[in-house]
Structure 1
Amino acid sequence: MSTDEQYWYNTETGAVEVGHRSSWTHLMGPYRTRAEAEQALVRAKSRTESWEKDDEDWRNK
C-alpha cells in the first residue's frame, strides 16, 4: 500500500474507499488512514455540535 493513498468515506454506502471511486456528492475526505475515514461521521457530528455551542455562546453574550 502506497503512503500517498487517500481514503474516503462514502455516505451513501457507509463504506471506506481507497481513492475516489464514487460520486463526489457521496464522499467525505480525503483522510490519511482507513481508521480516520471510518470515523468520518463521528468527527463531523462532534464538530457540528461544537460549532453550534459556539454559536449559542456568541448569541447569548
Structure 2
Amino acid sequence: MSDSDEKYWYNLTTGQVERGYVSPAVDRAGPFDSAEEAARAPELLKERARAWAEDEARDDAWGSGSTNESDAPR
C-alpha cells in the first residue's frame, strides 16, 4: 500500500470523503491526512481561493502608484 492509498480525498461530485484512489482524479480534491480534514475540503478550497485572489489583486496593483510610461510627458 502506497502513501497515497492511506490518504483521504474529498469527492467533488458526491461530497463524500474517500480513502485512497476510489474516484477518478478529476472528481477528487486532496490528499488530506485525515477524514476530518477531507470533510472540510469545500471550506478549505474557498479559503485558499480567496487568499490566491487577494494575492493576485496585490500583484496586479503593485506599482500602480508610480507613473506609467503612457502617462509620462514626451
Shorter-normalised TM range: 0.7 to 0.9
Q: Which one-letter code corresponds to 2:36 in the other structure? A: A
Q: Provide the secondary structure at the position in 1 that maps to 2:30.
A: strand
Q: Distance between the aligned counterparts of 1:60 and 1:30, measured in 2?
A: 33
Tell me what 1:58 maps to: 59
Tell me what 2:32 maps to: 31
Which one has a bigger Cα radius of gyration? 2
Computed over aligned residues only, the root mean square deviation of the Cα atoms, in angstroms, reads 1.2
Q: Provide the secondary structure at the position in 2 that maps to 1:51.
A: helix
1:3-57: CA deviations, max 9, x gaps?
x621110000000011111111101111110011001111111111111111112
**Identity fraction in percent:** 36
Task: Structure 1: give runs of 5+ residues left out of the alignment.
Answer: none
Please, what TM-score do these two structures have when normalized by structure 1? 0.84
Tell me what 1:10 maps to: 11
Runs (4+) of structure 1 exceeding 6 A deviation are: none
